[in-house]
Amino acid sequence: MKILPENRLRRLRINPTIRSLVRETSYNLSDLIYPMFVDENISKPREIASMPGVIAYPLNMIADESASVKDLGINAILLFGIPSHKDDHGSGAWSENGIVQKATRSIKEISDMTVIADLCLCEYTTHGHCGVLDNEIVDNDSTIDLYAKTAVSQAEAGADMVAPSGMMDGQVEKMREALDSSGYINTPIMAYSAKYASAFYGPFREAAESTPSFGDRRTHQMDPANLREAFREMEADLREGADILMVKPAMPYLDVIREARMRYDVPIAAYQVSGEYAMLVAAAQNGWLDRKKAVLESLTSIKRAGADMIITYFAKEVAEGLNDL
């Protein structure tokens, strides 16, 4: 007597409609955050060579471009600034006339785009490190005082949310206190809580002109080998007042995203970083991957792992029609 399979799971894969009905994971444009670069040193758009299709915009174009992104259905951007002036302390980061502050005001004049201001000093320092140096090591406590000033300055300019990425101890608490005491109690903090010292940041550093002039960032960014440490960082950020926890990068750290989702009942963000973008684009350009399918699969995997929101350079591409499965 022939023994039949007890369960025929293929029945639910038989056609696209049924597959769609039983699909367990999906994402919407409202889940995506688009990183944007505004460069004070240029007068026309500049494509970033290591990130084909990603553009840095001059100040006089960033508002219109942001509005066009909003029209596509993307409701939030993560804004990075490249200043014309740098110094040892990164004072352009908290200047009223800093590039992020000017860009934020410009965007808010014509659009209700949600602006999340990235907050670090590496783009603004002459040495490319994330804070004030003491014998070539970032001085934690002096640096977080400057982060606090920057958070208030960004909020004053109209930023809807601030996103500290420097991985300094106590940075969230210092910023929360400064924001609250300045009247910005409703400005959320998206903390780069589990930010690993990753090889996948290379193209971004070209884009933001923030490569360290010496050494690296391993004294403050996390060791890629560590998982338990990520949750110590997240718990510290939550105690200090973080509203959203971020894992960066995303695809190499899906286990971290998943475990964070299981542990914490707060929004989890994942940053699909420049190197993740660049490797998918390069493989597709060489005919080694189907770009559309690979992009959608990568975003689905991040969402399936537990991310509530995904920061991705593919957001605009998805909105323009990549997602028509």
Q: Annotated catalytic sites, by residue?
A: 195, 248
The pair of three-digit structure tokens given for residue 1, joined into one six-digit string: 């007597």
> CA 164, CA 236: separation in Å to the nearest integer?
14
Distances, alpha carbon 271 to alpha carbons 15, 37, 104, 263, 293, in Å: 33, 15, 21, 19, 19
Determine contact, residues 240/214, Cβ cutoff 8 Å: no
Task: Identify the H or E element spanning 56.
Answer: strand 55-58
User: By three-state DSSP, how is residue 221 classified?
Assistant: coil
State how far the Cα of 208 lies from the Cα of 188, in Å rounded to an integer.
24
Distance CA 170, CA 241 (A): 10
Look-up: residue for tokens 């290591």? Answer: 50
CA-based torsion, 259, 262, 263, 267: positive or negative: positive
Structure-block tokens of residue 259: 């475990």
Which residues neighbour 222 within 8 Å (Cβ) at sequence distance 6 or greater?
167, 194, 195, 196, 197, 229, 230, 233
Rg (alpha carbons) of the chain, rounded to whole number: 20
Amino acid, single-letter form, for residue 134: D
Euclidean distance between CA atoms 82 and 152, whole angstroms: 19
